[in-house]
Amino acid sequence: MSIQIRGLTVTFNPGPDAVTPLENLDLDIPAGQFLCVLGPSGQGKSTLLRCVAGLLQPTAGTVEAHGRRVEGPSATRGMVFQQDAIPGWLRVADNIALGPRSRKIPESQWRPQALHFTEAVGLAGRERAWPRELSGGMRKRVAVAAVFANDPDILLMDEPFSSLDHLTRQGLHRTLLDLWAETGKTIVFVTHDTDEALALADRIVVIAGGGVRADVVVPFARPRTDALRMDAQANALRATLLGHL
């Protein structure tokens, strides 16, 4: 599902203490793209994602998903947050089934998908575990399986892996890229880490000063390995991006 953002402006606290992280921002995201949104702290990345999610109404401008105006949250747009947002009182399997169950989808429809994504994220055999019995990386795997099991068209991910160590994060990158390749969903992934964006994205936009400061295509084939850190073209792209941060 494609996303069109036109003239997006968000002002918090109108008046003398007004903050306007986004001002007249335009962005088109084609269906199936893996877009990373990069930017310095406090420049409106999360605000942008919340507008696309329908969790925040813009002060001006519009967000459209597949040609329809976003006016509130919808199951067609799934979110994964930085915090461990999975409910601690639900076992792994119930966490992964939470979305379709709460939408009253018949179990015969969601059960095979839930099992598939449980396996795909590497949690087969842990279905009856409680979140507190899992590592931080495994809890993230539950969150990723849960969002895919709810079958949104668009995945909005706000620094989902930033609390994880390098190796755990790399593992989750591989899992996410495999699931993205398999399902063809549109992903908007916010990060402040240039290397994470280069590892994941088809395209990277830098958000700063209210708008899109840079918009680059990432030309590297997948799977991308640590060798990318040594690659001259990747270094040039990294330098360009860092120059905008």
**Which secondary-structure segment (H or E) carries 206?**
strand 203-208
Site string for ligand ATP, 66-105 (x = CB under 6 A): ----------------------------------------
* 19 interacts with ligand ATP by CB under 6 A: yes
Smallest gap, in angstroms, from Cβ of residue 93 to ligand ATP? Answer: 32
The span of 43-51, 63-71, 193-201, 233-241 binding ligand ATP (CB under 6 A) equals 43-51
Nearer to ligand ATP, 179 or 190 (CB): 190
Between 43 and 150, whose beta carbon lies closer to ligand ATP? Answer: 43
| Token pair for 34 | 């893996």
The structure tokens 């199936």 sit at: 32
Burial of 37-58, coded b for 16+ CB within 10 Å and e otherwise, reads bbbeeebbbbbbbbbbbbbbeb
Closest to 41 in 3D by CA, of 211, 198, 192? 192
What part of residues 22-41 is at the interface with ligand ATP (CB under 6 A)? 39, 41
* Edge-to-edge order in the sheet of strand 154-158: 77-80, 154-158, 186-191, 34-38, 203-208, 211-217
Contact call for residues 201 and 36 (beta carbons, < 8 A): yes
Establish if 43 lies at the interface with ligand ATP (CB under 6 A): yes
Tell me if 192 contacts ligand ATP by CB under 6 A. Answer: yes
| 47 lies in the site for ligand ATP, by CB under 6 A | yes
Are residues 10 and 56 in contact, defined by beta-carbon separation less than 8 angstroms? Answer: yes
Q: Which is nearer to ligand ATP, 44 or 152 (CB)?
A: 44
Tell me if 191 contacts ligand ATP by CB under 6 A: no
Nearer to ligand ATP, 46 or 113 (CB): 46
Q: Tell the smallest beta-carbon distance from residue 19 to ligand ATP (Å).
A: 5
Total of residues contacting ligand ATP (CB under 6 A) = 13
Read out DSSP for 88-111? TTS-HHHHHHHHHHHTT--HHHHH
Site of interaction with ligand ATP (CB under 6 A): 12-13, 19, 21, 39, 41-47, 192
